Amino acid sequence: MKRSVILSIVLISVLFLSCHRRKPDEKGVQVMAYYYTRWQNFKPETLPYDKLTHIIFSFTEVIDGEMKFPVDTLGMMLKILVKQKKKNPDLKVMVACGGWAGSGGFSEMARTPETRKKFVESVVKFIKQYKIDGIDIDWEYPGLSGMGNPYIPEDKENFTALMCDLRQGMNTICDNLVLTFAGAGWEKAFDHIELDKVMQCLNYVNVMSYDLAGGNDPYTSHHTNLGLIKMEDLQGTPAAAKIIEEGDSTKPFSTEKIVTYLINKGVKPSQIVIGSNFSGRAWQGVPPENNGLYQLNRGRWRGRAGYSRIREEIENKNGYVRYWDPIAKAPYLYSAKDSVFITYDDTMSVRLKTKYAAGLGLGGIMFWQLGADAPQDGLVDAIFAEKQKYKTE
Q: What are phi and psi of 308, to 5 degrees?
A: -55, -45
CB half-sphere exposure, 247, CA atoms < 13 A: 0
- 61, 66, 140, 386: which is the annotated catalytic residue? 140
Contact of 217 with 284, CB cutoff 8 Å: no
- Dihedral sign for Cα 306, 307, 311, 314, please: positive
End-to-end CA distance of the chain: 33
Q: Which of 362, 221, 365, 363 is nearest to 294 (CA)?
A: 221
Catalytic status, residue 140? yes
Calpha distance 212→222 (Å, rounded): 7
Q: What are phi and psi of 9, to 5 degrees?
A: -125, 135
State the CB neighbour count (10 A cutoff) for residue 67: 25
Q: Which residues contact 2 (CB under 8 A, 6 or more apart)?
A: 100, 140, 208, 211, 214
What is the three-class DSSP state of 97?
strand
Calpha distance 125→317 (Å, rounded): 51
Q: What are phi and psi of 296, to 5 degrees?
A: -70, 160
Question: Strand 30-36 relative to strand 92-98: parallel, antiparallel, unpaired?
Answer: unpaired
Contact of 193 with 266, CB cutoff 8 Å: no
Question: Strand 30-36 relative to strand 8-10: parallel, antiparallel, unpaired?
Answer: antiparallel
Calpha distance 182→99 (Å, rounded): 9
Catalytic residues: 140
